[in-house]
Structure 1
Amino acid sequence: MTTPATGFFRQLQDSTRTEREALLSTSLVQDALAGRVDRERYVAFLVQAYHHVRHTVPLLMAAGARMPGDKEWLRTALAEYIEEELGHQEWILSDIAACGYDADRARNSTPNRETELMVAYAYHIIDRVNPVGFFGMVHVLEGTSITVADSAAEAIASATGLPRQAFGYLRSHGALDIEHVQFFENLMNRIECPEDQRQILHCARQFYHLYADVYRSVSAEQALQLAA
């Protein structure tokens, strides 16, 4: 069990540093930050984002339904997340349309295998292992967005000339989302069960690998089928 002096959130950050750095070193992240991502590759990224973000609320609902009675406070927290996350997949489709691509084709497209596997693993953890482990995914996806989303949006916009309305998703999940960060940190510091802590750490490491694979799977050619 972690002590109040260190807090489980700090342990979560420190124990997954290697995996986090591996994710941030992927070519998609590095190219985005350096302004080397063109319109097609950005749209291809948005499509994969749509295919996992559309599962966010269903996953939160599933985790809440599986949460045991002695963790009612976590179920309440998940309900707050649901309220915050409703409709975000539609923001992504709006961004795709603002880039000049067909949002309906994106909605009806097939996700990359890597994206499908990451989502499937999330459902597996909730349904078959421990619903508390789902917070490992929350840590990875929210933490990554807060770290790079704003800078990536600025660099991609500069490189492509795309309008501001093409970056609603990235800008809404960037560094200004401080309240979300604090909410999650406080939540993790209330996790005292060693098994729950172990499961969150394990899942965070797994999701860093899975999310990095999603990034690696993105290629500009995938946007061709969405040409409006």
Structure 2
Amino acid sequence: MTVTVESQVDRLENELRPYYGIHKITWRNLMSSRGAEGFWGTLGQLYHAMNLGVPLMRAAGRRASTLGPEYAEFAHWCEHHADEEAPHVEWLLNDVAKAGRDRQAMVDAFPEPEILAFMGTQFALVEQVDPVAILGYIYVAEGHPNQPDGLQALAARFDLPLEAFDTLLFHTEADTEHGEEIAELIERYATSERRHQALVASGRAFLTGWSSYFSRLSTQSPAQS
């Protein structure tokens, strides 16, 4: 009799699966009700999430570096990945400008409460539980990239300029490689029930945060948002 041992990534996926479904449904509802306006609003909040993600990774790396040699590989990954992701925030703003939108308005717009809440959860997990926790949210974000044909169909359906999708399209390829790298780190570091639950909490906060944002905007009239 062969006993199959569930991988740490499979275990994480199984616990987060219900939230993936809600995430997709609320996104579709938002786009159905708000169209291009829903896309631009989401892109603006994605900017804020990405902009907070870089200092989050640096904070996780700093804390990990104080916790002993076991965390050395993770701390190095945090610094390397933060350096890699930092320019992408500017890329996204450039996409907005190329598409004829006001990039400074996106910078100046206040982050929505759902985005502040789920990113705040990530910082709390880093400082109070375990810095490795952020692998949960980053795995969800980068281990399940958008597909190019889906983004192109979205642009065509709502008459959106393809220039607005340059950074998103770049990540459809880059995140496939990143997802594999993050999965390897999860297998290495999810060595206790506490760490596993921290990863789940991180990924769940990301998915439910975006889902709540999509759901709220899909039920509001343009005048209310």
TM-score bracket, normalised by the shorter chain, equals: 0.7 to 0.9
The structural deviation recorded for 1:59 is: 0.3
Task: State yes or no: 1:49 paired with 2:46.
Answer: yes
TM-score scaled to structure 1, two decimals? 0.83
Contact kept in structure 2, 1:134 and 1:200, CA below 8 Å: yes
When the two structures are aligned, how many residues end up with a matched partner?
A: 216
The structural deviation recorded for 1:179 is: 1.1
Contact kept in structure 1, 2:137 and 2:204, CA below 8 Å: no
TM-score scaled to structure 2, two decimals? 0.84
The residue identity in structure 2 corresponding to 1:143 is: G
Q: 2:166 aligns with which of 168, 182, 187?
A: 168
Q: C-alpha offsets along residues 153-189 of structure 1, whole Å, 9 cap, x if unaligned?
A: 2122112333322102221222563211211111111
Query: Residues 206-221 of structure 1: matches in 2 within 5 Å?
Result: 206-218=205-217, 221=222
The structural deviation recorded for 1:130 is: 1.9
Query: Residues 1-228 of structure 1: matches in 2 within 5 Å?
Result: 5-26=5-26, 28-29=27-28, 32=31, 38-67=35-64, 68-69=67-68, 70-144=70-144, 146=145, 148-174=146-172, 177-191=175-189, 192-218=191-217, 221=222
Percentage of pairs with the same residue: 24
Contact kept in structure 2, 1:114 and 1:217, CA below 8 Å: no
Distance, in Å, in 1 between the alignment partners of 2:34 and 2:172 is 18
Contact kept in structure 2, 1:57 and 1:85, CA below 8 Å: yes
The residue identity in structure 2 corresponding to 1:188 is: I
Contact kept in structure 2, 1:53 and 1:89, CA below 8 Å: yes
Q: C-alpha offsets along residues 12-35 of structure 1, whole Å, 9 cap, x if unaligned?
A: 111211111111121x24665x8x
Q: C-alpha offsets along residues 64-123 of structure 1, whole Å, 9 cap, x if unaligned?
A: 111121211111121221132112221221222233221011111111111111222111
Q: In 2 relative to 1, CA 50–42 (structure 1 residues): closer, same or farther, beyond 3 Å?
A: same
Contact kept in structure 2, 1:37 and 1:156, CA below 8 Å: no
The residue identity in structure 2 corresponding to 1:73 is: E
Q: Which has the higher helix share?
A: 2
Partner-residue secondary structure (3-state), 1:111: coil
The structural deviation recorded for 1:7 is: 1.6
Q: In 2 relative to 1, CA 46–175 (structure 1 residues): closer, same or farther, beyond 3 Å?
A: same
Contact kept in structure 1, 2:30 and 2:214, CA below 8 Å: no
> For structure 1, which segment, 188-197 or 149-158, has the greater mean C-alpha deviation from structure 2 after superposition?
149-158
